[in-house]
């Protein structure tokens, strides 16, 4: 069976079961695992599916996919992005890192930075940077989101307002072609907006899959940022817009 016939059926199975697996599809169609992986990669790049460990799910528009699933998505890309971002983070500064697996990757790349004051509403970031003896870590208050270790709400925003950061590194759940950063949790959006207001400079870390996803709540435009770190070129019109806005785009 050709790819043209497999892919519509793969979508139907995903709609029926909520998720498809590489092994299950290979057995169903009588093809190799590599063939199915190529199908799923092509469908993910087209925005028809979201790759997860061992398979794929339907793209999410109003609810985020699970934290453990997100951790396994595009790991190599996130590491490359984080490394490029960390190379632009000076030592001897105050820094904010928000919720997300991409910002956690940045935290791992900062373990050898010296004399950092890091404020975060991400318990996972705090635990990573606790291993750096030259990094002072401040954790905001807020309501704990058990699913991913995030702290959200008014208490988190109130803590952030007490600082003026040299730099903020943030992530987002989705990025539309107009250049708007989007998220699922309105409380998290409020915290991210407060971070941007309290920061002298700001970076976004986002892999290419963010452009094939949607989320209902708007954080801000890329025009509000100094730099975007990603793993593939942005769409042509968005690249032009970033140039007009003075927002640097770094391809890791």
**Exposure string (b/e) for 169-179, b if CB count within 10 Å is 16 or more?**
bbbbbbbbeeb
Tokens of 223: 């025009």
Residue 44 lies in a domain: yes
Q: What is the pLDDT of residue 209?
A: 83
Do 22 and 128 lie in a common domain? no
Q: 216 and 242: one domain?
A: yes
Residue where a domain stops, chosen among 15, 37, 59: 59
pLDDT for residue 146 is more than 60? yes
Q: Are residues 99 and 210 in the same domain?
A: yes
Query: CA 106, CA 205: separation in Å to the nearest integer?
Result: 9
Domain-located, residue 198: yes
Query: CATH code at 10?
Result: 1.10.10.10
Confidence label for 63 from pLDDT (cuts 50, 70 and 90)? very low
The pTM score is 0.74
Give yes or no: residues 101 and 194 share one domain.
Answer: yes
Q: Does the residue 65 lie in any domain?
A: no
The span from the CA of 243 to the CA of 223, in Å, is 9
Task: State the Rg of the chain over Cα.
Answer: 19
Residue 87 located in a structural domain: yes
For 22, the domain range is 3-59
**What is the average pLDDT score of the chain?**
90
> Rounded to an integer, what distance in angstroms lies between the CA atom of residue 186 and that of residue 192?
10
**Are 24 and 135 in the same domain?**
no
Q: How does residue 177 score in pLDDT terms, banded at 50, 70 and 90? A: confident
| Of the residues 59, 81, 102, the one at which a domain ends | 59
**Same-domain check for residues 174 and 138:** yes
Last residue of a domain, one of 35, 59, 83: 59
Give the C-alpha separation, 120 to 140, whole Å.
6
Sheet holding 199-205, edge to edge: 135-139, 116-120, 94-97, 165-170, 199-205, 227-230, 248-251
pLDDT at 204 exceeding the cut of 70:
yes
Examine residue 64 and state whether it is found in any structural domain, yes or no.
no
Same-domain pairing of 54 and 81: no
Angstrom distance (rounded) from CA 227 to CA 115: 23
The answer to whether residues 83 and 25 belong to one domain is: no
Same domain, 51 and 76: no
Structural domain contains residue 32: yes
- Are both 101 and 150 inside the same structural domain? yes
Look at residue 62 in the predicted model and tell me its pLDDT: 44
Q: What is the pLDDT of residue 61?
A: 55
**How many domains is the chain partitioned into structurally?**
2
Are 46 and 92 in the same domain? no
Looking only at the bridges linking them, the beta strands covering 55-57 and 174-175 are unpaired
Which CATH number characterizes residue 146's domain? 3.40.50.1360
Instruction: Examine residue 112 and state whether it is found in any structural domain, yes or no.
Output: yes
- Per-residue pLDDT tens digits for 81-135: 999 999 999 999 999 999 999 999 999 999 999 999 999 999 999 999 999 999 9
Q: Is residue 105 part of a domain?
A: yes
In this structure, the answer to whether residues 94 and 196 fall within a common structural domain is yes
């Amino acid at each position: 069976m050709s790819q043209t016939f497999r892919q519509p059926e793969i979508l139907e199975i995903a709609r029926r079961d909520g998720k498809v697996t590489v092994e299950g599809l290979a057995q169903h169609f009588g093809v190799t695992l590599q063939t199915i992986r190529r199908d799923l990669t092509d469908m993910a790049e087209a925005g028809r599916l979201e790759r997860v460990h061992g398979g794929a799910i339907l793209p999410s528009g109003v609810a985020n996919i699970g934290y453990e699933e997100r951790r396994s998505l595009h790991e190599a890309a996130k590491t490359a992005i984080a490394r490029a971002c960390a190379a632009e983070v000076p030592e001897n500064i105050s820094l904010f890192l928000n919720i997300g697996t991409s910002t956690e990757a940045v935290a791992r790349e900062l373990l050898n930075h010296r004399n950092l004051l890091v404020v975060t509403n991400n318990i996972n970031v705090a635990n990573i940077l606790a291993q750096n003896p030259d990094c002072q870590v401040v954790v905001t208050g807020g309501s704990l989101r058990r699913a991913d270790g995030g702290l959200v709400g008014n208490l988190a925003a109130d803590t952030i307002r007490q600082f003026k950061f040299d730099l903020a590194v943030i992530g987002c759940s989705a990025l539309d072609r107009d250049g708007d950063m989007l998220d699922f949790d309105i409380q998290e959006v409020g915290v991210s907006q407060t971070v941007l207001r309290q920061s002298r400079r700001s970076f976004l870390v986002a892999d290419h899959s963010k452009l094939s996803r949607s989320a209902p709540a708007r954080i801000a435009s890329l025009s509000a940022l100094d730099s975007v770190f990603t793993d593939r070129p942005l769409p042509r019109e968005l690249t032009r817009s970033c140039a007009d806005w003075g927002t640097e785009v770094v391809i890791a």
